[in-house]
Amino acid sequence: MNASKLASEITKCVENYGFVPYVYKKKVGDSYSVEFTTITTKTRASSIVTRLSLLSQELAGESRRFSVTKELMTDPPATRDDLATWRITVRVPIKIRSKAA
């Protein structure tokens, strides 16, 4: 599976899991970026990052080449249970081979 298709599969999974209704896939340099913004707690944002890391590993057969990050877009929440806006990004390198090829 090529990187574009893999990024598309990650995009579909994000939509299917119901994290957010709008997910953007774009080519950035030597990788594809799957990103979305969500309003959630810090705990849930961390959980989404973990799930996407595991999903990427399952789809491609390895995780060390993927970068799954979260970025705070608003003021820091006072506690882990307070809502904040987070941007979550999955970077898929173009030169990646999948076990599902």
Give the CATH number for residue 86: 3.10.28
Domain count, the chain: 1
Structure tokens at 5: 């298709």
Q: Given the DSSP bridges, would you call strands 67-72 and 24-28 parallel, antiparallel or unpaired? A: unpaired
Q: Which two tokens stand for residue 42?
A: 């810090």
Instruction: Report pLDDT for 60.
Output: 77
Quick check: pTM over 0.85? no
Structural domain containing residue 18: 3-93
Q: Is residue 99 part of a domain?
A: no
**pLDDT (tens digit per residue) in 54-77:** 888 888 776 557 789 999 999 999
Specify burial of residue 32 (Cβ count, 10 A radius: 0-12, 13-18, 19+).
buried
The partner residues of 89 in beta bridges, in order of sequence, read: 35, 69
